[in-house]
Chain A
């Protein structure tokens, strides 16, 4: 709550929050807001430029671009939320274990993180997708499984500094178990930086999802996603600028909003250190 109050004191932060809320509403109430059926093919209205009837124009199959984009916001938010949720679970658990227990457990986890960081995310994601069936669930799992490393490092560092504090010592003298200390005392105290990382992560997950969909191995047509809408946009960029302009704009604004929220929270939590 304190964080949201502070966030609202920042103009850019407030604007970003409003954008995300707006997007969430669009996604949840898509069937009531979208003017047309996103999958309805209309051969009489192929590649129409933006007009009153179709504010953002129509695509190669005469489908309404605005309606498709509204439905696509569902997919993007869904994929990024689940993917980030997964990476939070992996990152927090591994980071907390490494930081709390130290020793060879820490060493093994740290090495594992180093190894995973050697693989460029997009290559790892592509390789994994090639062996699995392309579907929304696959994308979620693969993005989650390849994006937890930074978070694990962050949580490890937080736990390392927290575990020396007095309240942990007191909990220990009362005979609290390691698990209890970790989950009841340490992780809740590390929550603010985790939130920052999650917000930045949501933006990155949307970027990866749309890149994969654009490359044809993410969300599969006819299900609309901002990324796969751009496939048509690239094919028709000589005649229909609106097909590539608007979906890309949606990605840019959404990711920008998540990034600004993350960075603003970071500054609130730690005004001295403004790095990512």
Chain B
């Protein structure tokens, strides 16, 4: 167990190093060096601005020195100042948006599991039936649905036609301060229904299909045959014996689905006007606010890495084969 964790931690460190290298190289991606596109595209950038850039990234120094300087600052969460007119430190901008994105992704993750698990089990138990077929089609729809279009359609139906739900922001702007706690919660809920639906829809497809296939495999195993032979009720066989074993690999899938989830934030935060990390990234790209872009890219990758690492540890704790022995 300890050996397993140590190995995983080594991999974690190596991957972290790789992330810093790639984040750092993206800025040197542009043909003709990192400064040319900035000056080419942004007429507002004066020679004085250019100088600031050169100084900030130390672009006059050799590459490894630049990398080292950037790394030292990144470790202290110092990503420089934004190029936008307010010129605030990048980390301050990210700090106020991070909790919103994390909260939304956490909520949609919970929803995805609450919906996918029963759907997947249902599909597996009734494998081959018409229910299974309908579920398969829903899964395909989930894979193929352009989330931004789904968002627009939801806005059109619930926001414009029926006028049931607000179509933008996290909460009302008018009269929000005077609301009681319950009213505030209700206000947030109403604003979040559409974005969460969009964030959840695609995820359900992948996870429910995974649960289904995993369950189908497990249900064929000898110990299930044995459990049935003992005369245990079908319910108990499915929920106590099969589901537990089918769910184990799901912990890893959870980790793997993180980048997709966080990536989805860009789309639904932009469309629904939610002030999170995804919207910040989009705004930064539109304004070519390079310090913000760099910091965002780096942070999101590190978040994913941490998520994967936690999933690994969770898997090790849940699987007795790893917890007790050292097979890895």
Contact across chains for B281 and A276 when beta carbons are under 8 A apart: no
Q: Is B22 an interface residue (CB 8 A)?
A: yes
Contact, CB under 8 Å: B26 / A127? yes
Chain B 245-285, CB-CB to A under 8 Å as 1, else 0, gives: 00000000000100110111011001100000000011011
Cβ–Cβ contact B143 & A259, under 8 A: yes
- The total of chain A residues at the interface (CB under 8 A) is 51
* Chain B residues bordering chain A, tally (CB within 8 A): 59
Interface status of A85 (Cβ within 8 A of chain B) = no
**Cα of A121 to Cα of B261 in the assembled complex, Å:** 11
**A-B CB pair tally, cutoff 8 Å:** 155
Contact B19 A118 (CB under 8 A): yes
Contact with B along A195-221 (1 / 0, CB 8 A): 000000001000100110011110000
A116 touches B143 (CB 8 A): no
Shortest 8 CB-CB distances between A and B: which pairs? A248-B149, A120-B263, A115-B18, A255-B144, A120-B259, A256-B144, A122-B263, A131-B30
Tell me if A210 and B14 are in contact (CB < 8 A): no
**Contact among B15, B34, B300 with A114 in the assembled complex (CB-CB below 8 Å):** B15
Q: A123-B263, A260-B140 are in contact. Are A131 and B282 (CB under 8 A)?
A: no
Q: Which of A31-39, A43-51, A173-181, A234-242 binds B? A: A234-242
20 A–B contacts, CB within 8 A, in A order: A111-B14, A115-B19, A119-B297, A119-B300, A120-B262, A120-B301, A121-B260, A121-B263, A130-B288, A130-B293, A131-B34, A203-B143, A215-B266, A241-B156, A244-B153, A248-B153, A252-B146, A256-B144, A260-B140, A276-B209
* Given A114-B15, A119-B301, A238 contacting B149 (CB threshold 8 A): no
Chain A residues with Cβ below 8 Å from B153 are 244-245, 248
Task: Select which of A114, A123, A129, A210 is within 8 A of B146 by beta carbon.
Answer: A210
Residue contact B37 to A118, C-beta cutoff 8 Å: no
Shortest distance in angstroms between A241's beta carbon and chain B's nearest beta carbon? Answer: 6
Contact check: which of B141, B143, B266, B304 meets A119 at CB < 8 Å? B304
- Any chain A CB within 8 A of the CB of B322? no
Q: Within 8 Å CB of B301, what residues of A?
A: 118-120, 123
Query: Contacts of A216 on B, CB cut-off 8 Å?
Result: 286
Question: Do A129 and B140 touch across chains, with their CB atoms under 8 A apart?
Answer: no
| Distance (whole angstroms) from the CB of B24 to the closest CB of chain A | 12
B136 — nearest CB in chain A belongs to which residue?
A263
Known contacts A127-B285, A131-B30, A255 near B300 by CB under 8 Å: no
User: A78: CB under 8 A from chain B?
Assistant: no
What CA separation (Å) do A143 and B297 show in the bound complex?
A: 16
Q: List the interface of chain B (C-beta within 8 A of A).
A: 11, 14-15, 18-19, 22, 26-27, 29-30, 34, 37, 41, 140-141, 143-149, 152-153, 155-156, 160, 206, 209-210, 213, 216, 256, 259-260, 262-264, 266-267, 270-271, 281-282, 284-286, 288, 290, 293-294, 296-297, 300-302, 304-305, 308
Query: What chain B residues lie within 8 Å of A129 (beta carbons)?
Result: 285
What is the bound-complex CA distance between A85 and B70, given in angstroms? 35
Find A126's partner among B141, B146, B206, B281 (CB 8 Å cutoff). Answer: B281
**Which residues of chain B come closer than 8 Å to A245, judged between CB atoms?**
153
Q: Is the CB of A132 within 8 A of B148?
A: no
Q: Decide: B271 and A234 in contact? CB cutoff 8 A.
A: yes
Contacts of B209 in A (CB 8 A): 275-276
User: Which residues does chain A contribute within 8 Å of B270, judged by CB atoms?
Assistant: 215
Residues of A near B34 (CB, < 8 A) are: 131
CB distance from A272 to the nearest CB of B (A): 9
Smallest CB gap from B308: residue in A: A118
